[in-house]
Structure 1
Amino acid sequence: MAELWELSAGELSRRIAKRELSPVDLMRETLARIDAVNGDVNAIVSLRDREVLMGEARLAEAMAPQGWLHGIPVAIKDLVATKGLRSTSGSPLFADHVPTADDGLARRLKAAGAIVIGKTNVPQFGLGSHSANPVFGVTRNPFDLTRTAGGSSGGAGAVLATGMLSIADGSDMMGSLRNPAAWNDVWGFRPSVGLVPGEPGEKALLHRLSTHGPMARSVSDMERLLTTMSDGAFRAASDESASVKVGWLADWGGAYPMDAGLLEAGSEALTAVSESLGWEINLVAPPVDAELLWESWTTLRSFVVAMELGCHWRAETERGLLNAQAVWEIERGLSLTGDAIERALAQRQIWLAALHDLFTRHDALILPSTQIWPFPAKWDWPKEVAGRAMDTYHRWMEVVVPASLAGVPAIAMPAGYDEQTGLPHGLQMFGAHGADPKLLALGRAWERAIGPRQCRDPRHFARDG
Structure 2
Amino acid sequence: MDTFTTAREMAGALRARRISARELLELHLARIDERNPQLNAVVSLDPERARAGAAAADQHLASGRPVGPLHGLPFAFKDTHAVAGWRTTYGSPLFSDFVPAADELIVERIRRAGVVTIGRTNVPEFAAGSHTFNTIFGTTLNPVDPTRSAGGSSGGAAAALASGMVPLADGSDMGGSLRNPASFCGVVGLRPSFGRVPEWPKPNQWETTSTGGPMARNVGDLALLLSVIAGPDPRAPLALGDPGASFAPPLSGSLRGLRVAWSADLGGAFEVDASVAGVVEQAGRLFARSGAAVFSAWPDLSVADDTFRTLRAWHFQASYGALLARHPDAFKQSLADNIRAGESLSGADVARAYAQRTALAETMRLFFQSYDVLVLPVSQVPPFPADQEFPAAINGRPMATYLDWMRSAYFITVTGCPAISVPAGSTPDGLPVGVQIVAPHGADRRLLEVAAAFEESRGPV
Q: Same fold (TM over 0.5)?
A: yes
Q: 2:22 aligns with which of 21, 24, 37?
A: 24
Per-residue CA deviation, residues 6-26 of structure 1 (Å, 9 max, x unaligned), is: 111100010010111111111
**CA distance in 1 between partners of 2:70 and 2:252 (Å):** 24
Give the equivalent residue in structure 2 for 1:189. Answer: 190
TM-superposed deviation, 1:102: 1.1
- Partner Cα separation in structure 1 for residue 171 and residue 2 of structure 2: 23
Residue of structure 1 aligned with 2:424, choices 407, 415, 423? 415
Q: Does 1:239 align with 2:248?
A: no
Aligned mates of 2:329, 2:25 — CA distance in 1: 40
Per the alignment, in what secondary structure is the counterpart of residue 6 of structure 1?
coil
> CA separation of 1:293/1:96 partners in 2, compared to 1, >3 Å: closer, same or farther?
same
Give the letter aligned to residue 52 of structure 2: G
Farther-moved stretch of structure 1 (78-87 vs 348-357): 348-357
Secondary structure (helix, strand or coil) at the match of 1:212 reads strand
| Cα separation, 1, equivalents of 2:311 and 2:421 | 24
Is 1:84–1:98's contact at 8 Å kept on the other side of the alignment? yes
Q: Which residue is 1:223 aligned to?
A: 223
**What's the CA shift for 1:285?**
4.6
Whether contact under 8 Å (1:293, 1:405) holds in the other structure is yes
Aligned counterparts, 1:114-129, within 5 A: 114-129=115-130
RMSD: 1.5
Shift of 1:234: 5.1
Three-state SS of the structure 1 residue aligned to 2:434 is: strand
Q: CA separation in 1, counterparts of 2:125 and 2:2?
A: 33
The answer to whether 1:256 aligns with 2:270 is yes
2:297 pairs with 1:284: yes
Q: Distance in 2 between the 1:446 and 1:139 partners?
A: 29
Superposed CA offset, 1:154-207 (max 9, x none): 00110111001111011111000110001111111111111112113441343x
Identity of aligned residues (%): 40
Greater Cα shift, 127-136 or 375-384: 375-384
Structure with the greater relative contact order (CA < 8 A, sep ≥ 6): 1 or 2? 1
Letter in 1 for 2:318: M
Q: Which SS does the other structure have where 2:375 is aligned?
A: strand
CA contact (8 A) 1:205 1:304 kept: no
| Equivalent in the alignment of 2:452 | 444
Aligned counterpart in structure 2 of residue 405 of structure 1, from 405, 409, 414: 414
What is residue 342 of structure 1 aligned with on the other side?
351
Distance 2:297 2:161 in 1: 33
Partner of 2:438: 430
Q: 2:90·2:127 contact (CA, 8 Å) conserved in 1?
A: yes
Q: How does 1:29-108 map onto structure 2 within 5 Å?
A: 29-48=27-46, 50-64=47-61, 66-108=67-109
Taking the aligned partners of 1:198 and 1:288, their CA distance within structure 2 comes to: 27
Q: Which runs of 5+ in 1 are unaligned?
A: 454-465
Q: Which amino acid aligns with 1:149?
A: A
The question of 1:331 aligning with 2:344 is answered no
Mapped partners of 1:166, 1:452: distance in 2: 18
Q: Which runs of 4+ in 1 moved over 6 A?
A: none
5+ residue gaps in structure 2?
A: 232-242
Q: Secondary structure at the match of 1:52?
A: helix
CA distance in 2, matches of 1:51, 1:45: 14
The one-character-per-residue Cα deviations of 1:50-78 (angstroms, maximum 9, x if unpaired) are 23322221221122252111111000000
Alignment partners' CA distance in 2, 1:274 and 1:55:
47
Kindly state the Cα deviation for residue 83 of structure 1 after the two structures are TM-superposed: 1.0
Contact 1:356 1:432 in 2 (8 A): yes
The amino acid that maps onto 1:221 is: D
TM-score scaled by structure 2? 0.93
Distance 2:49 2:201 in 1: 30
The alignment partner of 2:226 has SS state of helix
* AA matched with 1:359: F
User: What secondary structure, in the 3-state scheme, does the structure 1 residue paired with 2:3 have?
Assistant: helix
Inter-partner Cα distance in structure 2 for 1:153 and 1:131 = 8
Equivalent in the alignment of 1:109: 110
Partner of 2:307: 296
Contact 1:249 1:286 in 2 (8 A): no
CA apart distance, 1:402: 2.5
Q: Deviations over 1:107-140 (max 9, x none)?
A: 1111100011000001000111000000100000
Q: How far apart, CA to CA, are the structure 1 residues paired with 2:10 and 2:336? A: 44
Give the counterpart letter for 1:240 in structure 2: G
Q: AA paired with 1:76?
A: F
Paired residue secondary structure (2:97): coil
- 8 Å CA contact retained: 2:128, 2:153: yes
Distance 2:122 2:41 in 1: 5
Corresponding letter in the other structure for 1:445 = A
Deviation per CA, 1:76-113, whole angstroms, max 9, x where unpaired? 00000111111001000101111111111111111100
The aligned amino acid for 1:57 is A
> After alignment, is 152-161 or 246-255 more displaced?
246-255
- Give the CA deviation at 1:386: 1.2
Q: 1:294 to 1:224 in 2, by over 3 A?
A: same
Equivalent residue pairs, number: 443
Distance in 2 between residues matched to 1:401 and 1:21, nearest whole Å: 42
For residues 320-373 of structure 1, the C-alpha deviation after alignment (integer angstroms, 9 at most, x for no partner) is 101112211111111101111122122222222221111000011111011011
